[in-house]
Structure 1
Amino acid sequence: MNSNLSRRSIIKGVLAGTAALGIPGSFSAYASENDFLKKESGMLKGNINHSVARWCFSDFDIETLCIEAQKIGIKGIDLVGPKDWPMLKKYGLESAMCNGAEINLVDGFNNPKFHETLIQNYSEMIPLVAEAGYTNLICFSGNRRNITDEDGWNNCVLGLQKLIPLAEKHNVILVMELLNSKIDHPDYQCDRTSWGVELAKRLKSENFKLLYDIYHMQIDEGDIIRTIKYNHQYIAHYHTAGVPGRNEIDETQELNYNAIMKAIHETGFKGFVAQEFMPKNTDKLTSLKKAISICDI
């Protein structure tokens, strides 16, 4: 999330409706010039399935974003609902992480008072995701509101167990996002990998997994590569962004995304890695192309 444009505001809108690229001199730290030129033309290596979060590039209408994503070699768009799926299909792109069933980021499965609404929403959305040929549907723990970890796990299990059979029937994965509670999402409960993994162990279903947001987990726990390698079997999807600031993932921030992508690939991961950063560069597509190149190992 970002102080100027939050995903929360994008989700609210979804729910209401159901250059030639210059190569910076410092780029050599991440990829060779020849590799970069190949990637600019969409010639990616194929080891990482790339996606991009819709809300981060909301300055572009959905068709323009699809066109530009296709040019780069991106295969998916994250965080779009049913109304945008026909446009994605027009350009051969996947809805890599579907949304539209959640209430918001703070009212989630850890609180039983939201279960009735959530179960109804997800019961309606899961078949739509499957019918469209997609797999991942995002969900959230919600804020603690003084709920203990144990009660949070128990409440999430109580709510999600009512949806798991439907998800299994339709081959849809309910994917809970890990968000930091230190800066962007104070009081969010699923703010550590260990918390999400424990929930997955209790649910005991391949149709519940985690969205490992690298930006968020760097802020709240660090130790990114070791954590990914140790817990990869519980992870269905990844998000990126630069730390600090949630901006470009280049040499201006602290994470080595090229090394992180290699670690992800070494786990045998076949899902999507989505760029979810807020570009500071006025030429946002330049930033997106560079991010893809950094992550295309």
Structure 2
Amino acid sequence: MRRRSFLTSAATVSAGIVAAPKIWGKDGPGIHPLELKGNINHSACYWCYGSIPLDQFLSNLSSLGVKAIDLVGPEDWPLLKKHNIHASMCWGAEINLTDGWCDPKFHEQLIKNYSEMIPKVANAGYTNLICFSGSRRGISDEEGLQNCLSGLKKIMPLAEKHKVVLHMELLNSKVDHKDYMCDRTKWGVALCDALGSEHFKLLYDIYHMQIMEGDVIRTIEEYSNYIGHYHTGGNPGRHEIDETQELYYPAIMKAILKTGFKGFVAQEFIPSWDDKIASLNQGIQICDV
């Protein structure tokens, strides 16, 4: 399942280092989590595991020592409370990935959605809420930035009041999200600077930015003050983050730690193994530096 499809259906459906690849094969065996070091705040994006009922998945996270989950909305929060799992990145205010802040025709709906969702996030005890630039549709980068600025300025005082941090996600426009505007770190940084609020950050998706820019570690070091959250994923293919792909995640995680980052790193790769939880376990261990 692709995240684009999950966004559409989510509102209606609810109820040692790198030794790991040598421990688990694609068919198992079972979960044998190692003791986590506590340096990285681990999370996982539920849409990648949507075939697993949320109640069961939250139990799986607990068994792995993972205390947070990404991309869940208010309908799921009671279940999170039951399992004592934190919502490290909330969603539910966005329209979708293509109809976003860079196009003024969506501002009225987005302002309404976020004005309703921000207090809900705060009242539930959470902090992070995702947002998207949306597609260009022929709009220039500069005009799109000004459009985002115009719309977001109308909700930032509410976010600041409730101590909620909006995170605009960086996505690639080359492979997965054609025409998406916020597809470069520098563009996102320029928007952050224009807004001038500590309650607006970038969600730096390592997979997406490897496709668009590469030079991941240098970018993280240079722009760490603008990044409030990270997503993982193996490139190419967006599958496991082990030796089957080109990124070396232990070094990336060490670079993130070196910046003093205290937020969450969420696994957002699509498991190719039959045992999806063993695959997630491997990813957690690889990133647990």
The unaligned stretches of length 5 or more in structure 1 are: 28-38
Give the whole-Å Cα distance in 1 for the aligned partners of 2:250 and 2:281: 14
Q: SS of the residue aligned with 1:269?
A: coil
The unaligned stretches of length 5 or more in structure 2 are: 25-30
Q: SS of the residue aligned with 1:83?
A: coil
Which of 185, 194, 201 is equivalent to 2:177?
Answer: 185
Which of 129, 135, 143 is equivalent to 1:151?
Answer: 143
In structure 2, the residue matched to 1:30 is none
Give the whole-Å Cα distance in 2 for the aligned partners of 1:16 and 1:59: 15
- 1:164 equivalent to 2:129? Answer no
In structure 2, the residue matched to 1:10 is 6
In structure 2, the residue matched to 1:94 is 86
Which of 108, 115, 135 is equivalent to 1:116?
Answer: 108
Q: Cα–Cα, structure 1 residues 23 and 85, in superposed 2: closer, same or farther, change >3 Å?
A: same
Q: SS of the residue aligned with 2:76?
A: helix
Superposition deviation, residue 16 in structure 1? 3.9
Q: SS of the residue aligned with 1:51?
A: strand
Give the whole-Å Cα distance in 2 for the aligned partners of 1:117 and 1:72: 39
- Does the CA contact (< 8 Å) of 1:112 and 1:155 recur in 2? yes
In structure 2, the residue matched to 1:258 is 250
Which of 245, 251, 270 is equivalent to 2:237?
Answer: 245
- 1:276 equivalent to 2:268? Answer yes
- 1:132 equivalent to 2:139? Answer no
Q: Cα–Cα, structure 1 residues 293 and 144, in superposed 2: closer, same or farther, change >3 Å?
A: same
Which of 47, 60, 63 is equivalent to 1:55?
Answer: 47
In structure 2, the residue matched to 1:36 is none
- Does the CA contact (< 8 Å) of 2:21 and 2:242 recur in 1? no
- Does the CA contact (< 8 Å) of 2:170 and 2:203 recur in 1? yes
Q: Cα–Cα, structure 1 residues 250 and 221, in superposed 2: closer, same or farther, change >3 Å?
A: same
Q: Cα–Cα, structure 1 residues 272 and 23, in superposed 2: closer, same or farther, change >3 Å?
A: closer
Q: Cα–Cα, structure 1 residues 42 and 63, in superposed 2: closer, same or farther, change >3 Å?
A: farther
Superposition deviation, residue 90 in structure 1? 1.0
Q: Cα–Cα, structure 1 residues 141 and 23, in superposed 2: closer, same or farther, change >3 Å?
A: closer
Superposition deviation, residue 119 in structure 1? 0.2
- Does the CA contact (< 8 Å) of 1:78 and 1:97 recur in 2? yes
The residue type paired with residue 181 of structure 1 is S
- 1:232 equivalent to 2:224? Answer yes
For residues 1-32 of structure 1, give each alpha carbon's deviation from its aligned partner in whole angstroms, at most 9, with x where no partner exists.
xxxx22122222233469xxx954388xxxxx
Give the whole-Å Cα distance in 2 for the aligned partners of 1:143 and 1:23: 38
Q: Cα–Cα, structure 1 residues 111 and 24, in superposed 2: closer, same or farther, change >3 Å?
A: closer
Q: Cα–Cα, structure 1 residues 269 and 226, in superposed 2: closer, same or farther, change >3 Å?
A: same
Superposition deviation, residue 41 in structure 1? 3.9
Give the whole-Å Cα distance in 2 for the aligned partners of 1:220 and 1:26: 32
Give the whole-Å Cα distance in 1 for the aligned partners of 2:41 and 2:198: 20
For residues 255-285 of structure 1, give each alpha carbon's deviation from its aligned partner in whole angstroms, at most 9, with x where no partner exists.
0001000000111101100000001111111
The residue type paired with residue 73 of structure 1 is G
Higher relative contact order (CA 8 A, sep 6+): 2
The residue type paired with residue 114 of structure 1 is F
Q: Cα–Cα, structure 1 residues 288 and 172, in superposed 2: closer, same or farther, change >3 Å?
A: same
Superposition deviation, residue 40 in structure 1? 3.8
- Does the CA contact (< 8 Å) of 1:42 and 1:71 recur in 2? no
In structure 1, the residue matched to 2:22 is 25
Give the whole-Å Cα distance in 2 for the aligned partners of 1:90 and 1:184: 35
The residue type paired with residue 8 of structure 2 is K
What TM-score do you get using the length of structure 2 for normalisation? 0.94
Give the whole-Å Cα distance in 1 for the aligned partners of 2:184 and 2:169: 10
Q: Cα–Cα, structure 1 residues 115 and 23, in superposed 2: closer, same or farther, change >3 Å?
A: closer
Q: SS of the residue aligned with 2:133?
A: coil
What TM-score do you get using the length of structure 1 for normalisation? 0.91
